[in-house]
Structure 1
Amino acid sequence: MLSISCRNTKTSIYRIWILLALLFPGCNDSTAGLPFDPHIEGLELVNSVAGADAIKAINKLHGMPINVVRGFVANYQGTHDKATVWVSGASSQELAKQQITLMFHKMKNNRRLPFSDYRTLNTNGVRVIAFDGMGQVHYVFRDSKWLYWISADRERIDSILKHLQRTG
């Protein structure tokens, strides 16, 4: 009799967990905690990665572990274009500043990278490093402890930057 009661209790608890997962799907959303609004006009968010998986992807992109405490990767698709937003969070503003300076220096001096036409923009008081490569335009900038890398088509990238600055 006792084992039947325990089994019924376990089954009830299991059913409650399933019900909660169905009622609150956003709780497991990889966009939760993003430092910006993931809804970008004209683009559909097709994939996003957060936490340890995003940090792993960021480290793979760099070819080595970098010192970040949070990470996000958001992939978007438009009617005729696509965009990716990489975001990493450093443990401090000073570390983020050092990281972006070092990254830009290494990229600019590495002739094997597929990037060219490096330039610096000033958008709403924020220094943005811009460059071209791999069929897209890339913007890299820092906001407090957050480092952003946007890859998008030339016609779209400025609106994505404005969105991130407005909602971040």
Structure 2
Amino acid sequence: MDVNEVLLPGVGLRYEFVNADGDRIGIVARRSGTFEVIGYSMTDPDEGELLFRLTAAEADTVAEILGAPRIAERFADLTKEVPGLSAGQIVVPPASDHVGQPLGHTRARTRTGASVVAIVRGGEVIASPPPDEVLRDGDVLVVIGTHEGITGVRAIIES
């Protein structure tokens, strides 16, 4: 998809693209940190209608909501290209011995050969989590490895 970037002097940047339905959409990133989402008329490309405004925090939340599932999809696509490599998602249950403990404490990669490549926590994605990242109840671990390795990580986390 092509995204056009237009400098708006004194205002910020406007990003424009056409979605799969043929709608022209604009997002104005203001220097103040707020964002405006604009829909353009099909008959007049210069006529735009403000659809809604977002604060910086709201825009971050929307980006995380839209981005989190995409990370898992991209890893799933990668595993199709590499024979023997699989991707899995493991939810950290409340009863896990590892809740409140650092990820490194699990020794999951050493014990199974599979790697935790991301943690999805609510709408937030922690890509390439460091060993000192503390696991929380409800975290979703995105794991890459063999089927057996992923099963092993699941057994560790659910213990």
If the length of structure 2 is used for normalisation, what is the TM-score?
0.24
Per residue, is there more helix in 1 or in 2? Answer: 1
TM-score (norm 1): 0.23
